[in-house]
Structure formats: C-alpha cells, structure tokens
Structure 1
Amino acid sequence: MAVISTEDEGKFLMDVRGEQIGIVTEIDPVEQVAYVDPDPSLTEAWVQSLGRGDANEDDLEVPAESIETITDSEVRVDADLSSEA
C-alpha cells in the first residue's frame, strides 16, 4: 500500500497494463482515498495538473491499498480498473 498525499493530485492513474484510467482530481489524505476523473476534458486535465481541481460526483474512488506505486507523473494501481471506468 502506498501513502498518498495532496501532492499526487493531477497525476495520471494507470492500471497494471500501463493504460491510463484517468487523472487524480483530489486526494483525501486522512481517509487515504484518491478521486479520479475517468474522462477528463483537455481543460480539466490541465487544471488538475496544476493541482487546482476538485472531485466530482462521477469520479472514481481509489483507496490507497489499491495503489502499487507513485512516480512524479503517475499513480499506478495493482488491478485492472479500466473496465470500471
């Protein structure tokens, strides 16, 4: 399990196959949940990359225990979530 923080907002969420699932819109550091927009527009992706976005009701909730690794640009889960998006 990875520990996620607000610094991970704006990163791409990738599945185990390296396919992009969406973009992290918001992190709840207390509950350790990442909220992911599975279909961001270009403008939304740009705003998220600046760490200025917020989660919407249609965002996916990804618990930290599902996250395998975090890099400078992506959060990678240990499962194939793309079928849920």
Structure 2
Amino acid sequence: MSVLSTEDEGKFLMDVRGEQIGIVTEVDPVEQVAYVDPDPGLANAWIQSLGMGDAGEDDIAVPADNVVTVTDSELRVDADLSSDTAA
C-alpha cells in the first residue's frame, strides 16, 4: 500500500500495463483515496496538473490499497482498471 497525499493531485493514474487510466483530481489524505477523472479534457488535465482541480461526480475512487507505486508524475495500480472506465 502506498500513502497518498494532496501532492499526488494532478498525477496520471496508470494500470499495470503502463496505460493511462486518467488523472488524479483530488486526494483525501485521511481516507487514503485518490479520485481520478477517467476522461479529462485538455483544459481540465492542465488545471489538474497544477493541483488546482476538484473531484467530479464521474470520478473513480481509488483506495491507496490499490496503488503500488507513486512517482513524481504518476500513480500505478496493481490491476487493469482501463476496462472498468469504458462502461
């Protein structure tokens, strides 16, 4: 399990295959949940990359238990979530 912080907002969420799932819009550091926009527009992605966005209604909640790696630019999960976002 990784520890999530608000500094993770704006990072890309990647699956085990290295494919981008979305962008982290908000992190709840108390609940240890990252909220991810699976389909950010260009303007929204830019705003999120600056850490200035908020979670939306269609964001995916990703618990820290599912995050295996945190780098300067991405969070990587231990599963292939990309099929879940297509629904």
Task: Indicate the TM-score class for this superposition, using the shorter chain for normalisation.
Answer: over 0.9
Which one has a larger percent helix, Structure 1 or Structure 2?
Answer: 2
Deviation at 1:14, TM superposition (A): 0.1
Count of aligned pairs between the two proteins: 85
Give the CA deviation at 1:70.
0.3
- Which structure 1 segments of 5+ residues have no match? none
Q: Which runs of 4+ in 1 moved over 3 A?
A: none
In the TM superposition, what is the alpha-carbon distance from 1:4 to its structure 2 partner? 0.3
Alignment of 1:4-83 (within 5 A): 4-83=4-83
Q: Identity across aligned pairs (percent)?
A: 78
CA–CA separation in structure 2 for the residues paired with 1:57 and 1:35: 10
Structure 2 unaligned blocks of 5 or more: none
Scaled by the length of structure 1, what TM-score is found?
A: 0.99
- Aligned-residue offset at 1:24: 0.1
Distance in 2 (CA, whole Å) between partners of 1:40 and 1:15 is 17
